[in-house]
Structure 1
Amino acid sequence: MKDQILIKATDMFLTLGFKSVTMDDIAAEMGISKKTIYQHYSNKDELVEASTMHLFETISCGIDHICNLGNNPIEELFLIKDFVMKNLKNENALPIHQLQKYYPKIHKTLMLRQFDKMGNCVVDNLLKGIEQGLFRKEINAPLIARFYFAGMTSLKDTEIFNPELFASKELQIAYLEYHLRGICTQKGIQKLEQLL
């Protein structure tokens, strides 16, 4: 039952927002009592933290799987983008905004874990791209990885990227293209053009 609660809560948090969804909402959606939820999670903060970490682990495992498929680094980034967006329900900005505002400690922990995971993944991707002649050899991989992470993170800032003006999917594709055009060799640009 604990796993079922976690899965349902995660789905609802991603769809409606971490603050918007109450324990009553989760209980009603599952057809169980709130008391049943509290037998497994002592409070909403604990459930929010469990949900974010569960989602982080799910996405991390999926990214690891994609990185082991042997695709070229440009295709790999597109596959990762699609996988992450699917698991984050096309990245509705409201849940991230609410997580940051109402659960700042959980948000900070998540951001640090994401940076650690994504930073290493992007550095590996960059080095592989340099080795394959798709990315310029003179780029500073650790620095570019940080630029990439900072940019991806800022896409969720609704004050900069108003969701009424910029659809999440369009933002993700535009940012990925922006990133790749800045680091690709001519050979890499040709691969990129095939994917756009």
Structure 2
Amino acid sequence: MRDKILHNAGEMFLNYGFKSVTMDDIAHALGISKKTIYQHFDNKTKLVEATTMYVFENISEGIDCICALEKNPIEEIYDIKRFVMNHLKDEKSSPQYQLQKYYPAIFATLKQKQFEVMQCCVKANLERGITLGLYRDTINIEFISRIYFNSMIALKDKDLFPLKHFSMNALMDYFLEYHLRGICSKKGLETLNQFINTQS
């Protein structure tokens, strides 16, 4: 039952936002009493914390599986983007923004975990791209990986990028192309252009 609650709460929080969804809403959607939820989670904050980590771990596992395929590093970045966007429902409800505003301690913990996972993943992608001659061998991997993470966080800032002007999917595409054009070698740019043309 605990996993069932986490799964359904995760879906609802991502679709409607952490603030909007109540314990009553989750209980009603699952066809159970609120008392059953409270047997597993003391309060909504505990549920939000557990759900956030549950979603994070599922996404991390999926990213690991994509990285294990060792595809072309440029294609790998876009595959990860598609996978994450699919799991986060295109972030229509700005979950990260709401989490930061209403549950700052949980947000801070999540951000640190995201940083650790992304550093590992992005560094591996950069190293492989350099080895394959797709990325310039003069780039500073430590710098690029940190800029990449901070840019991803910035994209989710509703004040900087209001959703009425930018969909999260479009923002991610703009950023990935911007990122890759900054680090690609001549060979990498040819690969990137071919990839973008086949996607459009």
TM over 0.5: yes
Instruction: Give the structure 1 partner of residue 104 of structure 2.
Output: 104
Are the counterparts in 2 of residues 93 and 158 from structure 1 also a CA contact under 8 Å? no
Contact kept? 2:52, 2:110, Cα under 8 Å: yes
Partner residue of 1:119?
A: 119
Partner amino acid, structure 2, of 1:23? M
| TM-score under structure 2 length normalisation | 0.96
* Structure-1 residue corresponding to 2:134: 134
Per-residue CA distance 1:31-70 (angstroms, 9 max, x = gap): 1100010011111111101111011110111111000102
| CA shift digits 1:76-135 (9 cap, x unpaired) | 100000000001011225221110011000000000000010011101100000000000
- Between 95-104 and 132-141, report the one with greater CA deviation: 95-104
Counterpart for residue 82 of structure 1: 82
Letter in 1 for 2:90: N
DSSP 3-state at the match of 1:192: helix
- 2 CA distance for matches of 1:25 and 1:91? 20
Counterpart of 1:190 in structure 2 is 190
Q: Is the 2:134–2:184 Cα contact (8 Å) retained in structure 1?
A: yes
Question: Is this contact kept in 2: 1:135–1:183, CA < 8 A?
Answer: yes
- Counterpart of 1:180 in structure 2 is 180
| Aligned residue type for 1:133 | G
| Unaligned 5+ runs, structure 1 | none
**Percent pairwise identity:** 56
Q: Which residue of 1 aligns with 2:94?
A: 94
Q: CA RMSD in A?
A: 0.7
Asked whether the 8 Å contact 1:93–1:157 carries over to 2, the reply is: no
Describe the SS at the equivalent of 2:89.
Answer: coil
> After TM superposition, which residue ranges in structure 1, 4 or more long, deviate above 3 angstroms?
none
Structure 2 vs 1, CA of residues 36 and 93 (structure 1 numbering), >3 Å: closer, same or farther?
Answer: closer
The farther-off stretch of 94-103 and 131-140 is 94-103
Instruction: Name the structure 2 match of 1:71.
Output: 71
- Deviation larger for 28-37 or 85-94: 85-94
Q: Which residue of structure 2 aligns with residue 13 of structure 1?
A: 13
TM-score (norm 1): 0.98
Distance 1:68 1:27 in 2: 38
Q: Deviations over 1:139-182 (max 9, x none)?
A: 00011000111111100000000100011110000000000000
Q: Which amino acid aligns with 1:150?
A: N
Give the residue type in structure 2 aligned to 1:153: I
Aligned residues: 196
Does the aligned pair in 2 maintain the 1:93–1:156 contact within 8 Å?
A: no
